[in-house]
């Protein structure tokens, strides 16, 4: 009898580990989504650079989080010294895990591989960082961005992550009473806060805002890529929200996971419809770029609590997010804050909305959510602003006017995305 | 020898090409261009910001013809490219000083 139980515990361990790995891989796939979405919404002369930015930030994020980020956020040990290696997982170690599993029973936090936990967490860091790349597109120096990424992924994000998911107190001063299932605030608002700090110091693209107050559109070069990117993000989000359940092995929790997938999808659909309708009403036509932002807004909106609501409520949460995002995009342009892909609106403004919605759907405390939002935003915005400022003073963060006109593909990468159209 | 430069609506290319081959014109060069004449543009919105679409996609067709076939070629192109709606395009004629076939070195009207 006891040995059968051991097999079941081993299976549960394996299943929960497997779940982290697969959902982590789905979130990793979101990096492709961001890359394609951004590549589609910038001009062709800036395509290579934004792709280089996206792949590089992913690599930087994974490395910095391994070096110190995970240690800061979860006490995981510098250079992941706290994680059991393959060599260390000998028979005695397995027996020890089995013993602790038996003691815990089929409870909430069964065991799983520490390496799988890191894998799942590291892809979230990369997601937060990639939010910044779209907002600063077409005029930022690539290397300034990457240096910022080192600090954001190694320190800034892990700190606020430690106060929230990590459960630590904020500099020993107070503890947060903050509910954020998969990170509307912790990941999305944080990314947007870092982006906002950068965009304010960077300035708008040349020619975007005329002296008379009119806004000049700078259309993206590739709508198929932008759409593909959005669908990739949509699918990856099943891992983003689904994996945040943190466990699969059990009837109750499996049901929770299923509802999370369902609600995530419903919110995306609602967000898209919301943006579609608003676009039709305001512009008379279906602006694809707004619709894509709407789907993503729906996803961000549900991310703080994809488990508690029913499917209709999730659709409505998404719908409201999709409506908000269109107006937010227009508002940022009115404020002359240039955001080529709408990242500040999708992740920042709707991120805040998503966090506050948990007061309605998940019974979070209003003050707890507000304090959480303010803590995350102020920490990330201020530290990011300082880092961007230092970078601006040391090396400059903006390319020259000629480089911006010629396209950052040439100046930052020396590789043009579509060379046949330039020189046969 | 004359060079015919015809700016036409893009979807008219097949009609013009077929009509030209029917009268025996053997060579043609096509470029994608943008332009406007008296055809006015219109405004569109991208993410809520207005922009004027005044440059419209057109095709530029270049055909080199002998003096003898000039009038017939002009008439053929005009008929084939015509829709009766604004923006049909224009034809410009210029003199060719010399023409050479690269493969054989032929020049003059033989090269056309």
**Nearest C-alpha neighbor of A33 from the set A307, A327, A313, A238:** A238
The residues on B that touch A, with CB distances below 8 Å, are 44-51
Q: How many C-beta atoms surround the C-beta of residue A316 within 10 A?
A: 19
For residue A219, what pLDDT is reported?
94
Percent of chain B residues topping a pLDDT of 90: 85
Question: How would you class A320 by CB atoms within 10 Å of its CB: exposed for 0-12, middle for 13-18, buried for 19 or more?
Answer: buried
Q: How far does B13 lie from chain A, in Å, by closest CA?
A: 22
Task: Kindly tell me if the per-residue pLDDT of A154 is higher than 60.
Answer: yes
Give the H or E element holding residue B58. strand B56-65
Contact check, Cβ <8 Å, B47/A282? no
Q: With 70 as the cut, is the pLDDT of residue A108 above it?
A: no
Predicted confidence (pLDDT) at residue A421 exceeds the cutoff of 70: no
* Mean pLDDT along residues A49-55: 97
Angstrom distances, CA of residue A70 to CA of A16, A63, A105, A166: 20, 10, 28, 10
Please state which of the ranges A52-66, A70-84, A236-250, A293-307 shows the lowest mean pLDDT: A70-84
Q: How far, rounded to the nearest angstrom, does the alpha carbon of residue A224 sit from its chain's CA centroid?
A: 22
Chain-centroid distance, C-alpha A292: 16
Expressed in angstroms, the distance from the first to the final Cα of chain B is: 8
Q: What is the DSSP letter of A412?
A: I
Q: How far apart are CA A336 and CA A151, in angstroms?
A: 27
* pLDDT greater than 60 at residue B98: yes
- Give the whole-angstrom CA distance, residue A303 versus residue B9: 49
Q: What is the pLDDT of residues A308-361, one digit of tens each?
A: 999 999 999 999 999 999 999 999 999 999 999 999 999 999 999 999 999 999
Q: In the beta sheet, which residues pair with residue A413?
A: none
pLDDT at A107: 63
Q: Is the pLDDT of residue B53 over 90?
A: no
> Residue A422: pLDDT above 80?
no
State what percent of residues in chain B have pLDDT above 70: 100
> For the residues A40-59, what does the mean pLDDT come to?
97
Q: What would the pLDDT profile of B2-49 be if each residue is shown by its tens digit? A: 999 999 999 999 999 999 999 999 899 999 999 988 877 789 999 999
Q: What is the pLDDT of residue A250?
A: 85
- Closest partner CB to A287 (pick from B47, B50, B51): B47
Q: Name the residue with higher pLDDT: A12 or A139.
A: A139
Residues in chain A within 8 Å Cβ distance of B44:
285
**Nearest CB to A219 within list B46, B48, B50:** B46
- Hey, of B32, B43, B48, which one would you mutate to test binding to chain A, going by the most A CBs within 10 A of its CB? B48
Structure tokens at A32: 């492709």
Yes or no, beta carbons of A329 and B48 under 8 Å apart? yes
A397/A128 Cα distance (integer angstroms):
20
Q: Are A314 and A266 in contact (CB under 8 A)?
A: yes
**What local confidence, expressed as pLDDT, does residue B88 receive?**
95
Q: Model-level pTM?
A: 0.92
DSSP state at residue A45: G
DSSP conformation class of A345? I
The predicted model gives A190-210 an average pLDDT of 97
- Contacts with A329 from chain B: Cβ below 8 Å: 47-48
Residue A424: the pLDDT is: 41
How many whole angstroms separate alpha carbon B5 and alpha carbon B62?
Answer: 5
- Give which of B54, B43, B46, B52 is closest to A282, Cα–Cα: B46
Please tell me which residue of chain A has the smallest CA distance to B53. A217
pLDDT surpassing 70 at residue B106: yes
Supply the Cα-derived Rg of chain A in whole angstroms: 22
């Amino acid at each position: 009898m006891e040995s059968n139980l051991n097999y079941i515990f081993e299976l549960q361990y394996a299943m929960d580990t497997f779940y982290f790995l697969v959902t982590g891989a789905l979130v990793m796939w979101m990096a492709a989504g961001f890359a394609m979405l951004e590549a589609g919404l910038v001009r062709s002369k800036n395509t290579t650079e934004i792709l280089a930015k996206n792949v590089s930030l992913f690599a930087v994020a994974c490395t910095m989080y391994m070096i110190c980020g995970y240690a800061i956020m979860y006490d995981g040990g510098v250079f992941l010294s706290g994680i059991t290696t393959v060599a260390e997982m000998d028979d005695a170690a397995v027996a020890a895990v089995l013993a602790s599993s038996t003691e815990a029973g089929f409870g909430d936090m069964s065991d799983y591989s520490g390496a799988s936990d890191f894998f799942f967490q590291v892809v979230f860091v990369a997601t937060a960082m990639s939010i910044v790349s779209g907002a600063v597109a077409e005029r930022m120096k690539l290397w300034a961005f990457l240096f910022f990424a080192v600090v954001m992924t190694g320190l800034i994000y892990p700190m606020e992550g430690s106060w929230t998911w990590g459960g630590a107190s904020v500099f020993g001063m107070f503890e947060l009473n903050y509910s954020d299932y998969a990170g509307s605030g912790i990941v999305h608002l944080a990314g947007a806060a870092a982006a906002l700090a950068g965009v304010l110091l960077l300035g708008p693209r040349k020619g975007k805002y005329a002296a008379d107050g009119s806004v000049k559109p700078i259309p993206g070069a590739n709508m198929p890529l932008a759409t593909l990117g959005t669908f990739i993000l949509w699918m990856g989000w099943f891992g983003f929200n689904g994996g945040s359940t943190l466990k699969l092995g059990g009837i109750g929790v499996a049901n929770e996971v299923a509802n999370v997938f369902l609600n995530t999808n419903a919110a995306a659909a609602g967000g898209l419809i919301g943006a579609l309708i608003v676009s039709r009403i305001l512009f008379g036509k279906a602006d694809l770029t707004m619709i894509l932002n709407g789907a993503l807004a729906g996803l961000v909106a549900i991310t703080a609590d994809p488990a508690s609501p029913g499917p209709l409520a999730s659709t409505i949460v998404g719908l409201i997010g999709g409506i908000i995002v269109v107006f937010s995009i227009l508002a940022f342009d009115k404020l002359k804050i240039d955001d080529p892909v709408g990242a500040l609106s999708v992740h920042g403004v709707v991120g805040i909305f998503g966090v506050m919605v948990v007061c309605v759907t998940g019974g979070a405390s209003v003050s707890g959510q507000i304090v959480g939002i303010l803590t995350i935003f102020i920490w990330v915005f201020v530290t990011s602003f300082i880092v961007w400022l230092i970078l601006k003073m040391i090396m400059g963060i903006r390319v020259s006017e000629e480089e911006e006109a010629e396209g950052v593909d040439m100046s930052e990468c020396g590789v043009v995305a579509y060379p046949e159209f330039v020189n046969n | 020898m004359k060079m015919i430069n015809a700016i036409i609506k893009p979807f008219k290319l097949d009609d013009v090409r077929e009509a030209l081959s029917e009268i025996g014109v053997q060579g043609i060069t096509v470029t994608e261009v943008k332009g406007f004449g008296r055809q006015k543009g219109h405004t569109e919105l991208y993410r809520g910001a207005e922009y004027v679409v005044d440059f419209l996609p057109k095709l530029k067709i270049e055909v080199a013809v002998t003096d003898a076939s000039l009038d017939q070629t002009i008439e053929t192109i005009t008929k084939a490219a015509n829709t009766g709606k604004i923006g049909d395009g224009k034809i410009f004629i210029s003199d060719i000083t010399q023409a050479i076939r690269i493969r054989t070195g032929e020049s003059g009207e033989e090269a056309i």
